[in-house]
């Protein structure tokens, strides 16, 4: 017999922004964007980050035997990133639907988005070299009855869209629920991006 879940906490457990839950309006239909030739242009991505009032965290270090990013041709593959605290010294842990609400988990996903951009910047140097965010794959450590995985991963999708804009930031995506993640983190997200040069 499964015991009843205790009420979800509504107080914020961390200083991250919860604005990520609102869908990002400027996303364009993928079919239209994919037919448009993409060219490298000076868009000053890092200036956009400052304009949004954001700052990139330190690049997270691997927690096991893997590299955080691999490039093959023009594509770069970023390993799964997990939610650290703002000082990048500790992990947030717990299960969505038990320890965390959807809004809290979406805020974790937003911060993971900044971690991913930080790792990408460490690899390419200039974020204007990013021609397209191709795909995100998000995993949510949640209780069996939880069904709001897409709303959680929206936290990452929306911040990526705001930073890179509709043309470069619109991406394919999967949002998967799971009953466990490494170190018991609530969210893990990986990314594929296309770069020029």
Q: What is the DSSP string of 138-186?
A: EEEEB-TT---HHHHHHHHHHHHHHHHHHHHH--EEEEEEES--GGG-S
CATH class of 25-60+73-195: alpha beta
Over residues 58-105, the pLDDT tens digits come to: 999 888 999 999 999 999 999 999 999 999 999 999 999 999 999 999
pTM for the model: 0.79
Pick from 148, 133, 152, 134: which is nearest to 92 by CA?
A: 152
DSSP code of residue 195 = E
Over residues 135-156, the pLDDT tens digits come to: 999 999 999 999 999 999 999 9
Annotated domain spans of the chain:
25-60+73-195
Q: Which of 9-18, 52-61, 157-166, 173-182 has the lowest mean pLDDT?
A: 9-18
């Amino acid at each position: 017999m499964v015991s009843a879940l205790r009420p979800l906490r509504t107080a914020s457990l961390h200083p991250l922004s919860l604005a990520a839950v609102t869908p990002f309006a400027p996303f364009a239909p993928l079919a239209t964007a994919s037919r448009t030739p993409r060219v490298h242009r000076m868009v000053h991505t890092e200036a956009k980050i400052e304009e949004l009032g954001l700052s990139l965290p330190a690049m997270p270090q691997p927690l096991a035997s893997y590299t955080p990013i691999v490039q093959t041709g023009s594509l770069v593959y970023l390993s799964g990133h997990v939610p650290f605290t703002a000082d990048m010294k500790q992990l947030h842990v717990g299960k969505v639907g038990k320890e965390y609400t959807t809004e809290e988990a979406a805020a974790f996903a937003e911060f993971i988005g900044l971690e991913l951009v930080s790792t990408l910047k460490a690899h390419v140097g200039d974020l204007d070299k990013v021609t397209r965010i191709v795909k995100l794959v998000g995993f949510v450590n949640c209780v069996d009855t939880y069904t709001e995985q897409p709303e959680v991963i929206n936290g990452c999708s929306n911040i990526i869209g705001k930073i890179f804009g509709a043309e470069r930031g619109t991406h394919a995506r999967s949002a998967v629920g799971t009953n466990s993640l490494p170190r018991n983190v609530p969210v893990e997200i990986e990314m594929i991006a296309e770069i020029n040069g």
